[in-house]
């Protein structure tokens, strides 16, 4: 007689194709936030594995213009923790906003439904990272001047507003003030013109997502002009003013005038902006105000805007 006995059936080897990854942070995250998701290993018959697998995860930034991966941007590796029950907890942190490709490999073989795309949004706006560029030194009375305000988060990412169509005015409050006078003791104050006198004979309009080239898509990145606000300012009286831009009620000190350069060169870029912001922070702490700057050296402009009388200009040139 055959006596009954126990038969133990163990799972087969891990099948990358049948293993699964789950969690919202596989497809969407925010810069600076620690994202996490779970991987469950299974064999070809969908039996759960006991653990002990060799798993790696990689996040690589995608160039949305071509669909290729950026070779100059270092990939982000996820931290994989074996829970010893066939599941693995993965955590990662990314500070550069953009579109990434997530790849999960099991002993070097892709699986768990990857690669998939991960959208990393910008963090909330950090007003201290905002900078301004455009026609800020000399304008003609009765003619529009274009001024751009670039808003960023604490990691230097332009503020992403997705989907862009749902934020036609952006998410930030941008204000422009043309001042006849600003008290020396309150140049950075939140009050209108720092408590000084504001010029009211000026037309002004704020738009969102329009670059110096007049388009809504940045040709350098292939993405919309995220976080960029266009101020169209039209002064009528030909005198010298002090221009002030405020972001969510706070004065923005770093301004650059490169408006005579080609449209794709007018933005001074994050490096110049970050240098200015660092210097301004030191000067603000010391209670001083930047006064000297050079127009064409990607440095902040002086605080005075000269509005010329165009009729006089024409007569003088005749």
E strand or H helix at 312: helix 310-317
* Model pLDDT, residue 279: 85
Residue 289: pLDDT band with limits 50, 70, 90: low
| Average pLDDT of the segment spanning 16-44 | 97
Residue 297: pLDDT band with limits 50, 70, 90: very low
pLDDT at 65 over 70: yes
| 159/237: higher pLDDT | 159
Pair 59, 91: CB distance under 8 Å: no
* Model pLDDT, residue 269: 93
| Average pLDDT of the segment spanning 298-315 | 48
Pick from 194, 226, 201, 233: nearest CA to 211:
226
| 25/299: higher pLDDT | 25
| 312/226: higher pLDDT | 226
pLDDT, one tens digit per residue, over 154-175 is: 999 999 988 888 899 999 999 9
Residue 282: pLDDT band with limits 50, 70, 90: confident
Residue 308: pLDDT band with limits 50, 70, 90: low
pLDDT at 314 over 50: no
Query: Which pair of structure tokens corresponds to residue 194?
Result: 């720092």
- Rounded to two decimals, the pTM is 0.86
E strand or H helix at 281: helix 270-286
CA-only gyration radius of the chain, Å: 27
Pick from 71, 225, 60, 258: nearest CA to 151:
225
């Amino acid at each position: 007689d055959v006596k009954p006995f126990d038969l133990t059936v163990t799972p087969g080897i891990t099948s990358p194709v049948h293993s699964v990854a789950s969690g919202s942070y596989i497809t969407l995250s925010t810069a600076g936030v620690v994202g996490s998701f779970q991987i469950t290993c299974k064999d070809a018959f969908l039996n759960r594995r006991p653990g002990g697998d060799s798993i790696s995860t990689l996040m690589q930034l995608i160039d949305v213009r071509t669909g290729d991966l950026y070779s100059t941007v270092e990939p982000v590796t996820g931290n994989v923790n074996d829970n010893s029950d066939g599941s693995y907890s993965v955590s990662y942190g990314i500070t550069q906003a953009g579109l990434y490709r997530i790849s999960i490999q099991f002993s070097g073989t892709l699986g768990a439904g990857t690669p998939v795309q991960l959208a990393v949004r910008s963090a909330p706006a950090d007003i201290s990272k905002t900078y301004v560029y455009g026609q800020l030194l000399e304008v003609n009375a009765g003619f529009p001047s274009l001024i751009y305000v670039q808003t960023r988060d604490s990691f230097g990412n332009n503020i992403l507003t997705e989907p862009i169509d749902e934020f036609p005015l952006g998410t930030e409050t941008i204000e422009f003030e043309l001042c006849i006078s600003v008290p020396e003791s309150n140049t950075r104050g939140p009050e209108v013109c720092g408590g000084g006198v504001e010029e009211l004979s000026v037309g002004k309009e704020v738009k969102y997502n329009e670059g110096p080239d007049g388009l809504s898509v940045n040709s350098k990145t292939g993405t919309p002009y995220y976080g960029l606000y266009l101020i169209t300012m039209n002064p009528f009286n030909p005198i010298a003013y002090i221009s002030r831009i405020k972001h969510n009620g706070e004065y923005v000190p770093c301004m650059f005038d490169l408006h005579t350069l080609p449209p794709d060169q007018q933005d001074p870029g994050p490096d110049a902006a970050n240098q200015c912001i660092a210097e301004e922070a030191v000067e603000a702490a010391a209670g001083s105000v930047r006064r000297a700057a050079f127009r064409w050296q990607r440095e902040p402009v002086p605080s005075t805007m000269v509005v010329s009388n165009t009729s006089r200009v024409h007569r003088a040139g005749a």
